Amino acid sequence: MELIGLGADFMPINPIRFTELQWYRRYYEPGQFVIRVIPQRTDDKISWDGNIKYIYRNDRPETGVIQKIEYSVGDKRQIELSGFFLEQMLNEKIIYPTYYASGNRELEIRRMVETYKADLPLVTLGPVNGIGSTATWQNTGGNMADVIYENLQTEGISFRTDLDYVNNKILFYCYQGKDKTYTTGQVSNNPVVFKPSLGSIRSLDYLEDISDYKNCAIVAGQGEGDARIFAVVDHSGGDRRREIFCDQKSESQEGTDAEYIEALKQIGEEKLLKYLKLSNLEIDVTQHNQVYGVDYDLGDICQAIIPEIDRQMTGRIIEVYEHYVGGNRTIEVTLGDKILSKYDKLKGRI
């Protein structure tokens, strides 16, 4: 692994020797990083090149954007750099005027990026991966990265903005993790199972929570009284319906009534993501039998068996936390659903 400090033009300035690195990768939201370095001594002076704006890592697709620098003097001098990955840059752009989409989800997302990227000239559309189904939706005023993540999450898809150093471009593309399960009948990928007896788990934290669970969204669009347009998203599957009401009167109609109803349904799908039947597993993984980055990676669907509580879980790897300090490496992976903070819940339900 090598870290290189890049300038505002993404040209390399200096390699970065760190004492500690935290690299926090996420599938459905921008990742983050924290780097602690000891400033170099030059001519009996402590110095740090303030022209370094980005962090390039040669063994990961993400590029860090430095947003905060802290300098401390105590037993030793130390600089702490922190920030988000490049995907967060798209949140600087607002979806305005209204974007109307009707077609393949991946292609519509790409068209939206091309339409609203504005003064991000390096952002270029990368490869088309042929994923996603047909969808109809619209958005006004959303932060672009948030809109993309929430829209793609309904189909288990994410996106990246990879730095193409050779061609001086930032490549935007949608992608989807691989199915690494053994019970779904897939034969394309070697299965990955986390289980204490297999030696793949050092420690774990498992959570089930249905206290906020909802399975049916009633979305109300434009109109008054009996003339108001409604759309229903029902995932109850014959069980008791646990309903939420989404007032989307401000959602203007574009196209036919059928297309408008599909757009309202997309809103319902995104709202229900905040009311999941939560299953979350955080694992401090070993690298003995299954190697991170080789056998499995961020976004892959894997399985875990916890015999002590009679649980077998299938879930997507939504987060990977890499921690390097003192020559040691720790890898923690999170499968399943994100545990929402009170702020996240409120934000998602407005």
Per-residue pLDDT tens digits for 73-112: 877 888 999 999 999 999 999 999 999 999 999 999 999 9
- The confidence score (pLDDT) of residue 241 equals 96
Name the nearest CA neighbour of 174 among 189, 187, 159. Answer: 159
Q: With H, G, I as helix, E, B as strand and everything else as coil, classify residue 159.
A: strand
| pLDDT at residue number 23 | 98
Asked if residue 348 has pLDDT above 60, the reply is no
Mean pLDDT of the residues in the chain: 91
Q: Please check whether residue 54 lies inside any domain of the structure.
A: yes
| Mean pLDDT calculated for residue range 112-124 | 94
Is residue 222 a part of any domain in this protein?
A: yes
Tell me the mean pLDDT in the region 68-77.
86
Q: Which domain holds residue 254?
A: 216-273
183 belongs to a structural domain: no
Residue 49: what pLDDT?
Answer: 84
SS3 58: coil
Q: pLDDT at residue 346 above 50?
A: no
Whether residue 157 sits in one domain with residue 98: yes
Q: Are residues 79 and 126 in the same domain?
A: no
CB 200 within 8 A of CB 285: yes
Lowest model confidence (mean pLDDT) among 193-207, 267-281, 331-345:
331-345
The tally of domains found in the chain comes to: 4
Query: Is 198 in the same domain as 309?
Result: yes
Say if residue 350's pLDDT is above 60.
no
> Phi, psi at residue 182, to the nearest 5°?
-115, -5
Tell me, what's the pLDDT at 166?
86
Tokens of 9: 């033009």
Q: DSSP secondary structure string, 89-130?
A: GGGGSB--S-EEEEEEHHHHHHHHHHHH-TT-TTEEE-----
Do 147 and 97 sit in the same domain of this protein? yes
139 pLDDT above the threshold of 90: yes
Give pLDDT, residue 255.
80
Let me know whether 339 and 258 are in one domain. Answer: no
Residue 185 lies in a domain: no
Instruction: Check whether residue 295 and residue 255 sit in a common domain.
Output: no
pLDDT bin (cut points 50, 70, 90) of residue 121 is confident
d(CA 111, CA 109): 5
Q: Is 187 inside any structural domain?
A: no
